[in-house]
Amino acid sequence: MQTASPNKVAIVTGGGGGIGLAIAENFVSHDITTVIIGRNQEKLNAAGADLGPLCHPVCQDLDDLAALPGLIQQIITRFGRIDILVNNAGINQKKELTDVSDLEFQRILHTNVSVVFALSREVVRSMVAAGNGVIINISSMAAQYGIPKVIAYSASKSAIEGMTKAMAVELAPKGIRVNCIAPGFIATDMSEKALNGDAERKQKVMSRTPMGRLGAPADIGEAALYLVSEGAKYVTGVVLPVDGGNSIGF
């Protein structure tokens, strides 16, 4: 059985639903105090009620970069420290390249990359002072191979993998591990929007997924738990596909 040290404090962005909720659920059930951040108060409240007293919902639009230093400071003041950061919040847009405006492109890059950088910087400052910490970033199959109609999303997830490696080497001497999970096609609101109503795309996804089915959010929750556990203490800078074989499928 995987174990994580008790009484750790984690932040999971986008923890109110989908993959983030499954990660938070796994953390809480292993005694990790987990702050979930999202924009939708109702979703956060429901998640908080489900996960119980170790789960602490915080409603904040992370796109507001100026608010992030204060947000992290408040979390540290309340919980004493941050041991784990999961940069899970993300947005997607499916549109032909020629129809994507500069503003739309920047909006995806802002949420999926700039927020991850700014939040990590703030959290890393406190992790450096503590001499340890674990960060997990979330990539995608869109950074493993070419997928049409997701130009900004692909750029953002490729950036996430580069940042993961850069952070991992710079922060390893300071006791901080940084890894990335690359989920395959996981059944959430995001994949539903991308696949439902597009039979051809869904068929293409299935035909190159050797396990023949979508993943469950809990599959990513298990991988995240491993990466924050003592069992992964010598693991840093990796991109771990959790994808039913999709990334290596024919």
Q: What residues line the site for ligand NDP (CB under 6 A)? A: 13-14, 16-20, 37-40, 43, 61-63, 88-92, 111, 138, 140, 183, 185-186, 188-191
DSSP output for 48-99: HHHH-TTEEEEE--TT-GGGHHHHHHHHHHHHS---EEEE---------GGG
Nearer to ligand NDP, 20 or 48 (CB): 20
d(CA 136, CA 236): 10
Q: Which one is catalytic: 145, 153, 226, 234?
A: 153
CB of 103 to ligand NDP, least distance (A): 15
Alpha helices in the chain (DSSP H): 18-28, 41-51, 68-79, 102-109, 115-130, 151-171, 189-195, 199-207, 217-228
Nearer to ligand NDP, 107 or 174 (CB): 107
CB of 7 to ligand NDP, least distance (A): 25
Nearer to ligand NDP, 189 or 230 (CB): 189
Nearer to ligand NDP, 61 or 170 (CB): 61
SS3 173: helix
Instruction: Name every residue whose Cβ is closer than 8 Å to that of residue 249 and which is 6 or more positions away in sequence.
Output: 207, 208, 209, 210
Residue 153: active-site member: yes
The two structure tokens encoding residue 64: 């507001």
CB of 189 to ligand NDP, least distance (A): 4
CB of 174 to ligand NDP, least distance (A): 25
**Catalytic residues, which ones?**
153
